[in-house]
Amino acid sequence: MAIGDVIRKYRRERGMTQEDMATRLGVTAPAVNKWERGSTLPDVALLSPIARLLGITTDELLSFKDELTEEEVNQYLTKLQSDLETRDFSDVFRSVKEKIEEYPNCESLIWQAAETLDAARMASELPDGDVYENAILAWYERCLRSQDERIRSQAADSLFHASIRREDYEKAARYLEYFSLGDPERKRREALVNSKTGKRAEAYRAYEELIFVAYQHIQLVLNDLRILYMEDGGHEMARKLVEVSSAAARAFEMGRYNEVSYGLDVAVWEGDAEWTARLMGDIIESVGTIGDFASSKLFQHMTLKTIEPEYLAGLKRELLRSLDDETFDYMRGNEAWEALKA
């Protein structure tokens, strides 16, 4: 986009006439008209006042080309990767710098070109490596102002890890502000900063909390997937997912109760009397282990509530009462089932 087109576009967006603009800049309306038609260019001394009046940067005012399309960015990145394999890094870096100057508002180009150069830089021992790194980090900083959350968070991620490498943990912590409070990656990065700044207990606890929450999420997903297979008659996969859920409970030291309880819904769905009786027997017998994860060393820095004996006793009574539920009508007369009631 020529400078005259840029002036026309933003002048109209702000509801100004050519006369309005001319008055505010101290020039004539015909002068503004000539700029917009491309007949003449504004005086260099007027570039900053024009940019301020239009509410844009001088980079935007002087951007002679539109933003690149996603396809064009991808094509450029492919060529960039090829150039890095066949040309000197300094030459490639210079060409990227010129490309970014040509398209100063193409955030996708800036972010991805910076990442590509950064990866190549770290893989090689380059003279003046700090100079390159500082320039790349400045490009990332520009991307922090992006309206695109993906570009903003990726740039923050790169800056975070650069700060960790430089052992500037205070700056690393500031970049965490660009991540959502509910993002597990933010918590993991906070734990990393804490581990580097003497807050070891906080780091241990955060990592353990991440493990605990991740386990719960895994089991929820496995349960939903198991139900989906059951709805579609997928017996083999339903049983497979029971095995995976049980193995996960065992690996994360969740206690015997949690290891054996996942298959009951599948056993009932299949009407498998032998499996149902065996599972229910294991579940009733292991009620007391339902909170064993609280004593696992995997979670030793967390404060986990112990389960009161009264609750465990009540749960066992409920399980025994459920043996007569109509859900288990197919178990009537089963010797092992009847023995559980005794």
- Full DSSP string of 37-103: HTSS---GGGHHHHHHHHTS-HHHHT--SPPPPHHHHHHHHHHHHHHHHHS-HHHHHHHHHHHHHHS
Its pTM surpasses 0.95: no
pLDDT(64) > 60: no
Same domain, yes or no, for 208 and 333?
yes
Mean pLDDT to the nearest integer, 11-28: 93
Average pLDDT, integer, range 108-136: 90
Domain-ending residue, one of 196, 217, 237: 196
| pLDDT, tens only, 203-223 | 999 999 999 999 999 999 999
pLDDT attached to residue 147: 87
- Mutual angle of helices 129-143 and 107-122, in 10-degree steps: 150
Instruction: Verify that 125 and 18 share a domain, yes or no.
Output: no
pLDDT at 1 (0 to 100): 60
Q: What pLDDT does residue 65 have?
A: 54
| Residues of the domain holding 93 | 70-196
Query: For the chain, where are the alpha helices, taking DSSP H only?
Result: 3-13, 18-25, 29-37, 47-54, 58-61, 70-86, 89-102, 107-122, 129-143, 149-165, 169-175, 184-196, 200-231, 235-251, 256-260, 264-270, 273-285, 309-322, 335-341
| pLDDT at residue 63, as a whole number | 65
Together in a domain, 231 and 318: yes
Q: CA nearest 89: which of 59, 126, 122?
A: 126
Together in a domain, 216 and 281:
yes
The mean pLDDT value for 228-253 works out to: 97
Percent of the chain predicted with pLDDT > 70: 99
Q: What is the pLDDT of residue 334?
A: 92
- Indicate the residue among 16, 31, 61 that finishes a domain: 61
- Both 244 and 164 in one domain: the answer is no
User: For position 53, what pLDDT does the model report?
Assistant: 92
CATH number of the CATH domain containing 45: 1.10.260.40
Residue 104 gets which letter from DSSP? Answer: T
Residues 214 and 244 in one domain: yes
Tally of domains in the chain: 3
Q: pLDDT for 297-342, tens place per residue? A: 999 999 998 899 999 999 999 999 999 999 999 998 899 999 998 7
Q: In terms of domains, do 210 and 333 share one?
A: yes
24 and 89 both lie in a single domain: no
Co-location of 180 and 287 in the same domain: no
Domain's final residue, options 174, 196, 218: 196
pLDDT for 231 equals 97
260-300, pLDDT tens digit by residue? 999 999 999 999 999 999 999 999 999 999 999 999 999 99
Residues 220, 329 within the same domain: yes
Q: Sign (positive/negative) of CA torsion 148, 150, 154, 156?
A: positive
Residue 127's pLDDT is 81
Task: Kindly report, residue by residue over 194-208, the tens digit of the pLDDT.
Answer: 999 999 999 999 999
229 Cβ neighbours under 8 A, 6+ residues apart: 237, 238, 241
Res. 137: pLDDT tops 90: yes
* Mean pLDDT estimate for the chain: 92
Q: In this structure, what CATH number is given to the domain that contains residue 102?
A: 1.25.40.10
Radius of gyration of the chain (CA): 32
Percentage of residues in the chain having pLDDT higher than 90:
79
The verdict on 239 and 312 lying in the same domain is yes
Do residues 214 and 94 both lie within one domain? no
Q: Mean pLDDT across the stretch 29-45?
A: 90
